Chain A
Amino acid sequence: MAVLLSDLRPVYVVGIGLHRFQRATDTSFVDLGLTAVRAALDDAGVPWPEVETAYTGSTRLGMAVSRPLLRHLGVTGIAMTQVENASASGSSAFRLAVRDVAAGFADVAMAIGVDKAAPGLRAETLTGISPLDEGLTTPPVHFALLAEEYLRSRGAGAEDMARVALKNHNNAADNPFAHRQQRRTLEEILADRPIAGALTRLECCPVGEGAAAVVVVSEEGMRRLGIDPARAVRVLSSAQQSEQLYGTRSYDAELTGATTQQALTEAGVSVTDVDIVELHDAFAIEELQYLETMGICAEGAAPSCLRDGEFAIGGRVAVSPSGGLLAMGHPIGPTGVGQIAEITRQLRGEAGVRQQPDARLGLAHLVGLGAVCVVHVLAAPA
Chain B
Amino acid sequence: MAKLAFQTLDDHSTPFWALIAFHVALVAAGLGAALYMEENGHIVTGMNNQVVWGLPHVFAVFLIVAASGALNVASVSSVFNRLAYKPYARLSGLLAIALLIGGLAVLVLDLGRPDRLLVAMTTYNFKSIFAWNIYLYSGFVVIVAAYLFSMMDRQAAKSAAFGKAMGWLAFGWRLALTTGTGSIFGFLIAREAYDAAILAPLFIAASFLYGLAFTVLVLLTMSRETRDELMPEEMLGKFRGLLAIFALAVLYFTAVQHVTKLYSAAHQGVELFLLRDGGVFPLVFWLGQIGIGTVLPLALLAFAPRGTKGRLAIELASALFLIGGLAQLYVIIIGGQAFPLALFPGMEVSSPALDGEVGRYVPALPELLLGASGVSMAMLIVALALRLMPFLPKAPAGEVSANAATAQGLGASDPMPSGRTL
Q: Are A and B bound to each other?
A: no
Residues of A within 8 A of B (CB): none
